[in-house]
Structure 1
Amino acid sequence: MMEEYLIVDGYNMVGDWPELIRTSEASLEEARNQLIKMLADYQGYSGMKVIVVFDAHQVPGLGAKEKEYKIKVIYTKEKETADECIERLVTELAHRKRNIHVATSDYVEQRVIFGKGALRKSARELLLDIHESRKRVKTRIEKQSKKSSYTFDSKLSSDVKDIFEKWRRGEK
Structure 2
Amino acid sequence: MNDILIVDGYNVIGAWMELKSLKTKEFENARDLLIDKMAEYQAVTGWRVIVIFDAYLIPGKETKTHKSKVEVIYTKKSEKADQKIEGLIRKLQNVKTRIHVATSDMAEQWAVFSQGALRKPSRELIEEIKKIDREIGAATTNKQAPARGTKIPMDEATREKLEKMRRGF
TM-score (norm 1): 0.80
User: Which secondary structure does the structure 1 equivalent of 2:119 belong to?
Assistant: strand
| Matches of 2:98 and 2:135, distance apart in 1 | 23
Q: Which residue of 2 aligns with 1:6?
A: 5
| Matches of 1:32 and 1:98, distance apart in 2 | 27
Letter of the structure 1 residue corresponding to residue 54 of structure 2: D
Q: Which residue of 1 aligns with 2:73?
A: 74
Letter of the structure 2 residue corresponding to residue 6 of structure 1: L
**Alpha-carbon distance, 1:111 to partner:** 0.3
**Unaligned segments of structure 2, at least 5 residues:** 152-165
Letter of the structure 2 residue corresponding to residue 9 of structure 1: D
Query: Structure 1: which 4+ aligned runs deviate by more than 6 Å?
Result: none
**Unaligned segments of structure 1, at least 5 residues:** 155-165, 167-172
Q: Which residue of 2 aligns with 1:33?
A: 32
CA RMSD in angstroms comes to: 2.3
Q: Which residue of 2 aligns with 1:108?
A: 107
Structure-to-structure mapping, 1:87-98, within 5 angstroms: 87-98=86-97
| Matches of 1:24 and 1:60, distance apart in 2 | 21
**Alpha-carbon distance, 1:61 to partner:** 1.6
TM-score (norm 2): 0.82
| Matches of 1:12 and 1:123, distance apart in 2 | 7
Letter of the structure 2 residue corresponding to residue 15 of structure 1: G
User: Which secondary structure does the structure 1 equivalent of 2:58 belong to?
Assistant: coil
Structure-to-structure mapping, 1:4-153, within 5 angstroms: 4-142=3-141
| Matches of 1:3 and 1:137, distance apart in 2 | 24
Letter of the structure 2 residue corresponding to residue 42 of structure 1: Y
Q: Percent identity?
A: 42
| Matches of 2:22 and 2:68, distance apart in 1 | 20
Higher helix share: 1
Letter of the structure 1 residue corresponding to residue 4 of structure 2: Y
How many residue pairs were aligned? 152
**Alpha-carbon distance, 1:142 to partner:** 4.3
Q: Which residue of 1 aligns with 2:161?
A: none
